[in-house]
Structures are given as C-alpha cells and as structure tokens.
Structure 1
Amino acid sequence: MTNSRTPAFSRRGILTTGMGLGAVGVLSACGGSSATDTPTATGDGGKGGYDGPKVDLAFWNGFTGGDGAFMKKLVDQFNGEYPNIAVSMRVMQWSDYYTTLPTAVTADKGPDIAVMHVDSVATNAARKVIQPLDDVASALELSADDFAPVPWEAGIYNDVRYAIPLDVHPLGFFYNKTLMETAGLDPDSPPLDLDSYMDALDKLKGKGIQGHWASPHLFTGGLSMQSLIAQFGGSMYSEGAKEATYNSEEGVKAFTWFQDLIKQGYSPAKVDQDADFLALQNGQNAFNWNGIWSLNTLAEKTDLQWGVSRLPNIGGKNAAWAGSHQFVLPTQKTPDANKDQASRVFLNWISQHSLEWAKGGQVPARNSVRESAEFQALTGQAELAKQIDDLVFLPAVAGIGDAGAEFDKAFNEIVLGQKDVKSTLDGAVERANKILEANVKKYG
C-alpha cells in the first residue's frame, strides 16, 4: 500500500476477481471433474504443531503491493520457528493468479496453501479448485468464537466450509482536517449521520469547496454504493442470489443520494479514477470514502492533516462494504498427510500472528488479535475495525462476480451520464438475473 494506484488490495485485485471467476470455468472444460473424488483435507493434527519429516510447502497469493512485504516477513518468521517446514511464497498479479491456479490444480501442480478474495471462494469451491475445510477447522479447534462473524460465515458455501478468514479490509471515511477548519467545522468531530453530513457539505460548498467527489468508478464509488444500499435497508441480491435486488426502493434512494452529490454541486460532474482520493490529499476534496488500504498512503503525507472514521450512516443503518482475504487449501490429486498437517499449522500460525499483517492495512479476522492492546495501538486500523459487525459482503454463491458487471455499468451510467436511476437499474437487474439463472446451470 505504498500509493493510491497500487494499494495492497487494489482496484485491480477486485476487478480481476471477476475475471478469475470466469476463468475458473476453464477448469471443468480442462478436466476439472477429475478432482471430484479427491479426499478432503483430514487428519488429527495441526493445532499442536508439526513434528513430522521436513516438508516443502508452496504458498500462492496476489500480494504484489506494499502488504506483500508484511506477509513475506511473517513467512520468514514462521520458517525460522519451524525448521521442518519450508514455506516458499509465490506472488503474482491477482489477474494472473485467478487464471493460473485452476490450471495448476488440474495439472496437479497447484500450491499447498493459497489466499483468495472472499467473493472467489464459492466459485472455486464449485469447480473443485479448493478443498472443503470443515475437518481442518475441527483439527485446529477453530470455531465461530475465534473470528468475527461476517468473515467467518463468508467462508461457507453450500453448508460446507471452504475458507478460513485472515482479514477484512473495509471502506472508511477519510477527511481533510484543514478543509474542515476552513469551512468552520470541527476537524476532530467528523459528520457521521445524514443531517450533519449534509450540513458539512453545505458549509464546505459555501467556501467554494466541493466536499464529496462522487466517483463513477467501482473503486471506490461502486463500493460506496454497495455500502449505501445496505445503509438504506436494501441488498444487492436476494437470499441465495437468485435475483438481483438493487433496483428496490431502497436501492433507488441510495443511488439518488449519490447522484445528487453532483446535481447539488457537492461534487464535480466527471471524476476520473482515483481523482477523488488525490483531491483529498491536494486540498480540493474534504471527504473521501476509501479502503483501509489508504491508511499507509496517507501516513506518508507528513504535511497533510487528515483523519479517519467509520463510514457515515446516510441511510439509517450502519453498513460498510468490505473485502476479505481467506486461506484456502487447493485440491490435491495425490494428497500428502504430512503436507496436509504442516499446511494447517502454517495457516493457523499466520492467523495467530496477524498483527503484523494488520500493519500493512488490514483488520485481523481473528478476535484475539483484533482485540489485543497491540492492535488497538494501530489507531487507523482499530477505528475501521469498529465496523466489524456491520460489514457487507457479496453472497457466497458460485459465479456471483459474473453478474456484477451489470451493476458496475449501471452505476457508471447513473453517476457519469446522469441517467434516470430507476429505469437504468431495472435494465441492469433484468440482465443480471439472466446471468444468475445461467449460473445455476453452469455451476450447479
């Protein structure tokens, strides 16, 4: 997370998650069904460590940003503590990762351990790219009591656990304190409800400051919209994602509020990708809803007076979009009991030591780490962790990313093109529902 254009969890990361979902379909076409009978990762070890023969473990992920150094540090520390386990980490762009992994698994050349974005887990589970982990969680004595509920539940697909959460990375509210003072606002008391937020925007506007730049791009305007829909009491999809539902009354209210930021002069009409975040840093934009990955970028701006808080509650309900990195164990055609156990030890150890990972701009999913005094000392991360029970994930349904493109297109048209909200959403939902229906046949 060294800069706004290449954050550890980047626009590229989530955008290519959708690409990866489609690419996973290649697995079945390439003979992925041969993995159907692969046994799950079972056994009776892991929690107490590993004392078997030396094993080499391959660990794949897409941590090409600043967070990669934090994970590398953890891997090196683990290797130092476990001389009979040698973990090698392969890092690649997420777009490459989500296409390379299924192919490698099919060829029985996949890694022993991997990390996935939470919205990729269901699709890869449906395609047998990753193994069920109920027995792994049982062997490690992990339960819902050990993790925040939202990311823990998100690792379940069709009543079977396929992932163990490492972190969450939510949106937060970043504000320029200097601009707030210019408008006569208290820089240490950011507006966190609808009335105070609109009052602040009016005061900023009175000083010639467009206070909230409405980005028409997925990062981070589209993620803000997903948060707003939930805040207004709506949802992106029905239960089980049988239908898209963001054209509901609640969805229309959320889109209208965001579109009105432009109509009422609180935002420029056309905001380029990342321009809203750069404007915050350059003293042009007072308020910016952005990801936790922005913390380290802003910390480098020593001459910038800024603050961070949970997202303002605009619609009446606390809610914030979030992503999550989750540990998965790729399917092995020729399982190795020693590697199975060593892999469990590794993922459990990283989870227990995820304070170091949090420093890269994450909120640990593990309660013991998140609730520790050491984590609370990471003030930005700790502030955004207050949203842990209000986070919004996409449903754990195979192929969910395939339908997301219709939402993204509608969002862009409504914000950038000022198209009619209801009719644009109705058209997007109609197209998305056809994709969701096709996915039932595609993924089972």
Structure 2
Amino acid sequence: MTNHLPTSVTTSLSRRGLLGAGVGGSAALGLSACGGSSSPGKAGPTAASGSGGAEGYDGPEVTLQYWNGLTGGDGPIMKKLVGEFMKANPKIKVVTTAIAWADFFQKLPAAVSNGKGPEIALMHVSDIATMGARKVIQPIDDVIKGLNLSESDFPSNVWKAAFYNNDQYAMPLDLHPAGLYYNTTVMEKVGLDPTKPPTTKDEFMAALDACKSKGVQGYWVSALSVGGLVAQSMIFQNGGYMEDETGTKTGFGDQPAIDAITFFKSLIDGGYSPKNAAGDADWVSFQNDKAAFMINGPWMVTPCKEISKLKWGCAPVPILGKDQKTWGGSHCFTLPVQKSNDANKQKAARVFLNWMGNHSVGWAEAGMVPARTSVRDSEEFKKYSEVTQFEKMIDWVQFPPLKPGVADAESEWGPAVSNAMLGKKPVDVALKEAAVKGDKILAANQKKYGY
C-alpha cells in the first residue's frame, strides 16, 4: 500500500497492522485481498533442481530479478542485505524491485503468466496458499531438503504456515508479532513506573486511569485501524479467530470479536482516547508525547529510534484476553514459476535464499525477528535489545489457515469495525452482518480453489 506520508508513518500504515481495518473500505481491502481474486494461472511448476544453494554458485554470470513489497523504511535495509550478498557472490547480480503490497499481488501473477516473472519474490506467509493454488509460485522442497532444514530450525508456527497441499512453498525470513510500545516521558509524567509496562488487561486499564487522572488520553484508538493487529490480538487471546482452520467460516460475529471491538470502543467512550482519531493517531500521539502506549509491530522500532527526543521502550503485548497470543506476520522467500527453465538462474536463486537465511540477523535492523533459530541464538542478534522483546512472542503468533483466498473475507471486516466503532451500528449487529457476507466469500473461494 502506498501512502503519501512521512517514511516513519508510512512504515507503520503499510503493514498488515491495517489488515482488514477498513480505511474507507479500500486501503484495507488492498491488504486483505492480496492475490486472491483471480483464477489459477496456466503456468505449471518449474522443475526443481540443485541442492538448495548450499554448494554456492560457480556458473556463468547471471542476473536475478527480485520483487518485494518493501516500500517503507525497511526497503533500504533489504537493499543493503542484497548488496552484501552480491559482494559475497560476484557472479550473481540481483535487481531489486519494490512494489507496494496492494499492487504486488496483481502484478506478480500477471508477470508469471506472461513468462516475465521474477526469479525471487518476498511475500507474507498469509499469501502462500493463494499464490501456490494459483501456480504463481513453485514448491521449494528441494531447497529445504538440500539445506537439511527441518521444523526444528524455525518456530513451529511459521514452518507449518509455509506449506500448501503438503508441499513447502516458502522459506520464512522473519516473524513480526504485535507488541507494546510505551512512552517513558508520559509514564513518568502521570506517575507510572516505566520499568513496569502493563502485562494484563487490569494493569493496562489501571495505567490508562492514571493517565486520565492527569488529563492525558493514554492510548489513542482509531476506528480506521483498530480492526487490524490491535483488535485481532485480543480476538486470538479470547480463543477466537478471523477464519477457522477449514477456511469456511469467519469469526467476525463470534463473541471473542464482539468483545474485542466493544472493549476498544469503550476506550473512546470512556475518554481514554479522543474520538474520530486518524488511522495513524496511535503513532502520531506516541511520538509527540501525547500518549503513553501504542500497540504495533516491530517495524516501528526503527522509526522510534530515529526520533532523538523520544524516550520509549517496548514489551510483549498485554494479555487483554485470556491467553498468550498475538497477531503476527512473516515475510517469506518464494520462487515464482518460470516458463523458461534456466538452470543457472534456478541454482543462483537458491544460493540467494540460503545466504539470506543464514545472514538474516541483518534484517533485525528493520525491527524484524529472524525466523532461523540459529540466527536468533547468535550473540549478534542479542544486541538488538528492542527486537528481542518481540522474540519473546514468537510462539504466541497466530497465522491464517492454510487455505487459498481466506483473507478475501476481511474486506467485510474492516467496514464493519468502522461502523461499530463510530456508533453507526451496534457492535454485534455490524460484526454479525460482516460474518454473513464474509462466509459467502469463503464459500465461493472454497468452490473456486477446490478445498
């Protein structure tokens, strides 16, 4: 999603944090419906070759096209890593193209169908099943086997999420859970101990009461964005889901979702948050010392560091429900289907995936938690003290079901949340209506994709 905002704000809003949040029903749709609207492509899978890139590349010089959606502050960090790869592998030139995520999943299938797809593509784990079903990307079982990788080398949840129809289609690069950011200046101003950020709903509300007693609205909630990672984290904590494991039912109208939206609406109604806050109000209020807290992804670590006057910290997301769970995403490397099977490029692309996985500690500069266990266990990763706070939650992360097109239903979730938060409809009415419509979308996709 392209936003005409400062880089730091764009970084925040261009993430799946706005997944299904319903910014006028359009921005959220662009994120939640990535790559699920067309019928499967005609191209067949490329024949797998090589040993996963472990042996390196000694063939003729090749140029690889690498597409991703990193149009925010993480883009330059990825380009830096690519530059380091090319220095270590001088025979492989990698041309990086960043395309806004909302456009990425329209352009990639078209390019693959026309035989002009990139050799490498980075995408969210939530898009793997859809892109696999549409034959846009190919299985990479040979890479995993060639590198002797297994589930023990990654968090179990992200490893399992990289499969579709029992084939592995992606190599996870990172995990990015939702977490809590706290403003030290504001906390001290209202008499809170900044070394003890809230960990439960009761502690969170006690902190907001302390803020309110001092005339501070401690946590700014927006009807335009709360339905993303913020509300979804609470839904998961209460045992709910956005889509069930079968990919045939939404949880929009279930009690966990109703309770979550009711809670965040109560923060506005109770004066803990201003009314009609903009979609990026949590970040704007936080960086300007107007709010004590922000719930966001680890990509905000870098923007926070860039503001010298800002005194802050981060911690695991508070348990606003019952269980230790959180919204989370993952960037994964995939190999798009190629009509022209160039063996040298296939081998070089696999070398790229292997190298990036082994050197993913550098990706922590973008705030991301490396997916590779060996990298997270390294001494080098430990220096990213803020990112290690998000590492604590990797087992909490909830991923969508491994069914193609399930995120399409969230086009109904965003507008419903906005209507509920703005008081245009009762919360339960708005969400139950969205559930009926969302379930119809899932039923259509089940028929289309045959699951």
TM bucket normalised to smaller: over 0.9
CA drift at 1:2: 7.2
**Which residue does the alignment assign to 2:54?**
47
- The equivalences for 1:63-212 within 5 A come to 63-212=70-219
Contact 1:2-1:66 within 8 A present in 2 as well:
no
The count of aligned residue pairs is 436
**Which residue does the alignment assign to 1:20?**
34
CA drift at 1:359: 0.3
CA drift at 1:418: 5.9
Equivalent position amino acid for 2:10 in 1 = T
Q: Distance in 1 between matches of 2:121 and 2:402?
A: 18
Contact 2:416-2:430 within 8 A present in 1 as well:
yes
**Which residue does the alignment assign to 1:275?**
281
**Which residue does the alignment assign to 2:239?**
233
Q: Distance in 2 between matches of 1:311 and 1:229?
A: 13
Equivalent position amino acid for 2:11 in 1 = P
CA drift at 1:56: 2.0
1:363 and 2:377 equivalent?
A: no
Q: Distance in 1 between matches of 2:125 and 2:326?
A: 15
1:419 and 2:425 equivalent?
A: yes
What per-residue deviation string (whole Å, max 9, x for no partner) do you get for residues 107-129 of structure 1? 11111111111222111111100
Residues 45 and 296 of structure 1: CA distance in aligned 2, closer, same or farther (over 3 Å): closer
Equivalent position amino acid for 1:301 in 2 = I
What per-residue deviation string (whole Å, max 9, x for no partner) do you get for residues 248-304 of structure 1? 222222222222112222111211111121111112211111121111111122112
- The equivalences for 1:341-420 within 5 A come to 341-417=347-423, 419-420=425-426
Residues 256 and 8 of structure 1: CA distance in aligned 2, closer, same or farther (over 3 Å): closer
CA drift at 1:83: 2.3
Q: Distance in 2 between matches of 1:374 and 1:83?
A: 25
Q: Distance in 2 between matches of 1:426 and 1:318?
A: 26
Match of 2:254 among 242, 248, 257: 248
Equivalent position amino acid for 1:262 in 2 = I
1:310 and 2:316 equivalent?
A: yes
1:439 and 2:445 equivalent?
A: yes
1:339 and 2:357 equivalent?
A: no
Equivalent position amino acid for 1:97 in 2 = F
1:266 and 2:272 equivalent?
A: yes
Residues 192 and 418 of structure 1: CA distance in aligned 2, closer, same or farther (over 3 Å): farther
What per-residue deviation string (whole Å, max 9, x for no partner) do you get for residues 76-107 of structure 1? 21112112222222222223322221111111
| Secondary structure of 1:42 counterpart | coil
Residues 121 and 274 of structure 1: CA distance in aligned 2, closer, same or farther (over 3 Å): same
Residues 232 and 20 of structure 1: CA distance in aligned 2, closer, same or farther (over 3 Å): closer
CA drift at 1:142: 1.5
Contact 1:174-1:307 within 8 A present in 2 as well:
yes
1:6 and 2:10 equivalent?
A: yes
Residues 254 and 20 of structure 1: CA distance in aligned 2, closer, same or farther (over 3 Å): closer
Contact 1:63-1:91 within 8 A present in 2 as well:
yes
Contact 1:47-1:141 within 8 A present in 2 as well:
no
Equivalent position amino acid for 1:441 in 2 = K
| Secondary structure of 1:329 counterpart | strand
State the TM-score, normalizing by the size of structure 2. 0.92
What per-residue deviation string (whole Å, max 9, x for no partner) do you get for residues 286-330 of structure 1? 111112111111112211221111100111211111121110100
Aligned Cα RMSD in Å? 2.0
Q: Distance in 2 between matches of 1:10 and 1:45?
A: 32
What per-residue deviation string (whole Å, max 9, x for no partner) do you get for residues 304-357 of structure 1? 221111100111211111121110100012212222222111111011111111
Q: Distance in 2 between matches of 1:347 and 1:414?
A: 44
State the TM-score, normalizing by the size of structure 1. 0.93
Greater Cα offset, 320-329 or 10-19: 10-19
Equivalent position amino acid for 1:367 in 2 = T
Structure 2 alignment gaps of length 5 or more: 20-27
CA drift at 1:19: 4.7
Contact 1:59-1:90 within 8 A present in 2 as well:
yes
Q: Distance in 1 between matches of 2:408 and 2:243?
A: 13
Contact 2:33-2:410 within 8 A present in 1 as well:
no
| Secondary structure of 2:352 counterpart | helix
Equivalent position amino acid for 2:241 in 1 = S
Contact 1:229-1:246 within 8 A present in 2 as well:
no
Q: Distance in 1 between matches of 2:413 and 2:322?
A: 23
